[in-house]
Amino acid sequence: MHTVEKIGGTSMSRFDELLSNIFIGQRTGDALYQRVFVVSAYSGMTNLLLEHKKTGEPGVYQRFADARNEGAWLDALEAVRQKMVEKNAELFQTEFELRAANQFINARIDDARECMSSLQRLCAYGHFQLDEHLMKVREMLASLGEAHSAFNSVLAIKHRGVNAKMVDLTGWHRDAPLPFEEMVRESFVEVDLARELVVATGYTHCSEGLMNTFDRGYSEITFAQIAAATGAREAIIHKEFHLSSADPNLVGADKVVTIGRTNYDVADQLSNLGMEAIHPRAAKTLRRAGIELRIKNAFEPDHAGTLISQDYKSERPCVEIIAGRKDVFGIEVFDQDMLGDVGYDIEISRMLKQLRLYVVNKDSDANSITYYASGSRKLINRAARLIEEKYPAAEVTVHNVAIVSAIGSDLKVKGILAKTVAALAGAGISIQAVHQSIRQVEMQCVVNEEDYDDAVAALHRALIEPENHGDVIAAA
């Protein structure tokens, strides 16, 4: 009857609070156990090891991939070492713990440095190409961050008299990688959950290569697989905030409510909008295993948070959350020859996939298709040029837009479209497009980018805040 619980990098950087709130708190005796924690690297470490997630500033990996000599990336690796050692000094005051923490991460970094230097020398010969090995280097570097935080967590928990154990899924010094599911199962064979509090790395080394598919979303995939493989009673993700009815920064902290209950359909809609409660592939694993997911605020441990189930539906139709994303471009393709030819959609979708642009939604009429895609302006413009080259007669127009969504486990609310249109019109916002599917879990409104914040606030007032919307009440 154990739980599997994931803690993200931002929360891990407030480790003393986690010890008081989650890892130990008021628990004693047997209550300390029957828990597995899956930890991410401390905030900012993976950016330094790979590249900055938002700005693209190169880290160790990117410098290594572009390097012509060892010095180009070695300084960056040593800077990471310094940051990790500084983090150790911040966490540990006793000489024994600090020495153990530094020895562990220094050994890992020394191994990585030697491996990368040897690979660089090997690839100086024409028979070996660096590009063929870069993904392995990326995975190796990423694993350093999770190993660092997991080892430190176990060290700190043991210091407080709790029998903690590290499950190292990074495959360090393993002769050959195992398949993902087998790697997870094998790593837990000798774990006694009744007597050991387990801290596992968020990265798993496996024959499939998690980063090939999930890149930096691998920790939630590991978390879900551990829950499924060990038959967890419940899976829990600790965040820095509650899963609320909207962004409190946009609608006011006094206006939002914690959702409380919802289902995996709603979680998937949030993922599509880039506001992940959980990675959709991780959610799929939990769904298949019949495991419920709870989203909690790591710094409000007594709050039940939000429980996500497979079959839950709100007691009556209602809007549970107003969400959206601003980093969206509408790529509008108009061509008179498009009528009845599905090849346009197939070919353009293939182009966008090759450019790794994420398509949030799309709409079409007789002679036009508009793709609402997320990505850099540079890639969006490149996509537009490729479409024009493929279809010279087409007119391709790029629009700066945003998407605002009303989402709920049962959205069959009478008059919701009229309420939505009236709310946005009342706020002086022009709707560019509207999407609502038969499944009735989401309604999307496409608005001008500059209207996003006002649109979220207007829809929250109209569809969720009880004093303004009559019989449509969010589930609390």
Between 473 and 269, where is the model more confident?
269
What is the mean pLDDT of the segment spanning 390-399?
A: 94
| Residue 468 confidence (pLDDT) above 60 | no
pLDDT (0 to 100) of residue 68: 66
pLDDT (0 to 100) of residue 469: 41
What are 36's strand-pairing partners? Answer: 4, 198
Q: Looking at 40-133, list the stretches that DSSP marks H as alpha helix, in order from N- to C-terminal side.
A: 45-49, 60-66, 71-91, 95-122
| Spatial separation of the C-alpha atoms in residues 26 and 302, rounded to whole Å | 11
Structure tokens at 461: 């007032």
pLDDT in tens, 235-291: 999 998 888 999 999 999 889 999 999 999 999 899 888 877 788 899 999 999 999
What is the mean pLDDT of the segment spanning 379-406?
A: 94
- What's the whole-model pTM score? 0.87
| Spatial separation of the C-alpha atoms in residues 14 and 440, rounded to whole Å | 39
pLDDT (0 to 100) of residue 466: 61
| Spatial separation of the C-alpha atoms in residues 455 and 449, rounded to whole Å | 10
474 pLDDT band (50/70/90 cuts)? Answer: very low
pLDDT (0 to 100) of residue 217: 80
pLDDT in tens, 306-355: 999 988 888 888 899 999 999 899 999 999 888 878 888 999 999 999 99
Using CA atoms, how far residue 192 sits from 2, 84, 159, 291, in Å, is: 11, 30, 20, 21
pLDDT (0 to 100) of residue 471: 39
Structure tokens at 372: 């609402």
pLDDT (0 to 100) of residue 99: 97
- DSSP 8-state assignment for residue 170: S
pLDDT (0 to 100) of residue 453: 95
Between 414 and 23, where is the model more confident?
23
Three-state secondary structure call for residue 289: helix
What burial class does residue 208 get, using C-beta atoms within 10 Å of its C-beta: 0-12 exposed, 13-18 middle, 19+ buried? middle
Structure tokens at 4: 């599997």
- Report the first-to-last Cα separation within the chain, whole angstroms: 27
pLDDT in tens, 130-184: 888 889 999 999 999 999 999 999 999 999 999 999 999 999 988 888 999 999 9
pLDDT in tens, 413-445: 888 899 999 999 999 999 999 998 888 899 999
At position 79, the amino acid (one-letter code) is A
Using CA atoms, how far residue 285 sits from 5, 89, 208, 419, in Å, is: 15, 38, 16, 37
Q: Which of 70-74, 193-197, 367-371, 376-380 has the lowest mean pLDDT?
A: 70-74
Nearest to 271 by CA among 221, 226, 313: 221
Give phi and psi for 410, each to the nearest 5: -145, 100
pLDDT (0 to 100) of residue 459: 95
Nearest to 164 by CA among 40, 23, 31: 23
pLDDT in tens, 60-104: 999 998 876 677 899 999 999 999 999 999 999 999 999 999 999
What is the mean pLDDT of the segment spanning 282-305?
A: 93
Degrees to nearest 5, angle at CA 340 with 334 and 345: 55
DSSP 217-277: GHHHHHHHHHHHHHT-SEEEEEESS--BSS-HHHH-TTT--B--EEEHHHHHHHHHTT--S
